[in-house]
């Protein structure tokens, strides 16, 4: 607010400038254009982060501020996504909100971290937008307040990259939303099919009992693969699930269009299911960790360890990114291997990361690392024909 007041005062001051008022015609118009251009770019600087990422991350890691992580989404036609994005950035920056938000003409999809003392204010600001009024905010289950270190709001073609032609089917005709008790009841029926609509590295560390888990790296890949896998079971009840529910909204509409009769999805995804189970004292059928797309990379749902360290094979479900920026592959690493490899995925990466910055810059174009060799989370795929780099 102070910045807006200052800008208005500056504009008034410029408008009263004798230099501007004494000029006429083209010269005055050119000067006015320069003034407007200056303030346009000054405002644009406020709509993006200008502090170094490493510094922002350091500030977050050393901060004692209590923060709440939450996620949300809403399908709604937005006429001007760019203008909506800019206003959102201004409003939420003033509240100290961090996070990653995608905006498209079809709606909004966000994961954010809010100072807990400002959570009610954030809710009020969000609900003041008519199409966001009353939407569910999925509060994180396992939260240390270190999920995000900056606010990033991007305009995209879609809020979830699904590869679908929305004009080819009714995207508003979606599957049935199930509460946690309804999920458990339907899962207890022998003919029910449970499908994980997430990527392989997500389901590697956590999943529902007996769920079909497609071996895919993107949601776009999962849609046709699941359709093929379930081609003979179109008349059976299907429960789909994902992290917070958004992927299943579009997927359920797609499968109903494709002739599946009994398509269900877990309302609010794994996050809301786990919350309801804890709140209502229900048996939780989800095992292990729920992978999340922020600095935490996962939240504990049950004590089960379902995955293994990609380096030594011991039970472990801690995802991390190789600290070698030239690699940065997502993989699972235990504490012992983290110490042995200096938080890298290989000796090659550890040796490279230890080099002076100038030497790394010179060698980087000539070297291959696991991150450039394998897809996301594919480090453990050490096939003899295409071995991982050690």
Catalytic residue IDs: 242
Residue 99 CA to residue 71 CA, distance in Å, equals 9
* 105 touches 75 (CB < 8 A): no
SS3 assignment, position 387: coil
Residues 6+ apart with CB under 8 A from 302: 206, 284, 286, 287, 288
Sheet strands side by side (includes 107-115): 138-139, 67-75, 107-115, 98-104, 151-155
What is the torsion angle, in degrees rounded to the nearest 10, for the CA atoms of residue 161, residue 163, residue 168 and residue 171? Answer: -20
DSSP string covering 315-369: B---EEE-S-TTT--EEE--HHHHHHTTT-SSHHHHHHHTS-HHHHHHHGGG---
Give the number of other Cβ atoms within 10 Å of residue 270's Cβ.
28
The residue whose two tokens read 């079809």 is 106
Check: CB of residue 291 under 8 Å from CB of residue 205: yes
377: DSSP letter? T
């Amino acid at each position: 607010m102070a910045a807006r007041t200052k800008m208005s005062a500056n504009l008034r001051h410029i408008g009263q400038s004798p230099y501007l008022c004494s000029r006429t015609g083209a010269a005055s118009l050119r000067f006015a254009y320069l003034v407007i251009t200056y303030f346009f770019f000054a405002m644009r600087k406020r709509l993006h982060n200008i502090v170094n990422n490493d510094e922002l991350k350091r500030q977050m890691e050393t901060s004692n501020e209590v923060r709440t992580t939450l996620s949300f989404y809403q399908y709604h036609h937005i006429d001007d996504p760019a203008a909506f994005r800019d206003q959102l950035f201004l409003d939420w920056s003033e509240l100290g909100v961090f996070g990653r938000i995608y905006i498209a003409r079809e709606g909004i999809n966000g994961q954010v971290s809010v100072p807990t003392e400002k959570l009610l204010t954030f809710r009020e600001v969000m609900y003041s937008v008519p199409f966001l009024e009353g939407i569910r905010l999925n509060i994180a289950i396992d939260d240390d307040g270190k999920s995000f270190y900056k606010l990033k709001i991007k305009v995209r073609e879609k809020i979830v990259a699904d590869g679908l032609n929305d004009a080819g089917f009714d995207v508003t005709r979606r599957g049935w939303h199930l509460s946690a008790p309804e999920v458990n009841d339907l899962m207890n029926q022998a003919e029910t099919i449970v499908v994980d609509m997430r990527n392989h590295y997500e389901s590697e560390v956590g999943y529902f009992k007996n769920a079909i888990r497609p071996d895919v790296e993107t949601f776009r890949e999962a849609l046709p693969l699941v359709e093929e896998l379930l081609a003979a079971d179109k008349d059976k009840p299907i429960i789909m699930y994902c992290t917070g529910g958004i992927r299943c909204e579009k997927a359920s509409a797609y499968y109903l269009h494709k002739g599946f009769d009994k398509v269900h999805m877990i309302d609010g995804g794994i996050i809301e299911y786990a919350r309801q189970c804890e709140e209502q004292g229900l048996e939780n059928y989800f095992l292990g960790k729920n992978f999340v797309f922020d600095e935490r990379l996962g939240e504990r749902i049950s004590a089960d360890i379902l995955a293994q360290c990609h380096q030594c094979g011991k039970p472990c479900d801690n995802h991390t990114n190789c600290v070698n920026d030239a690699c940065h592959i997502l993989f699972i690493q235990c504490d012992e291997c983290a110490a042995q490899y200096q938080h890298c995925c290989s000796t090659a990466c550890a040796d490279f990361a230890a080099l002076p910055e100038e030497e790394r810059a010179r060698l980087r174009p000539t070297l291959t690392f696991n991150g450039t060799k394998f897809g996301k989370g594919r480090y453990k795929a050490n096939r003899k024909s295409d071995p991982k780099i050690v």
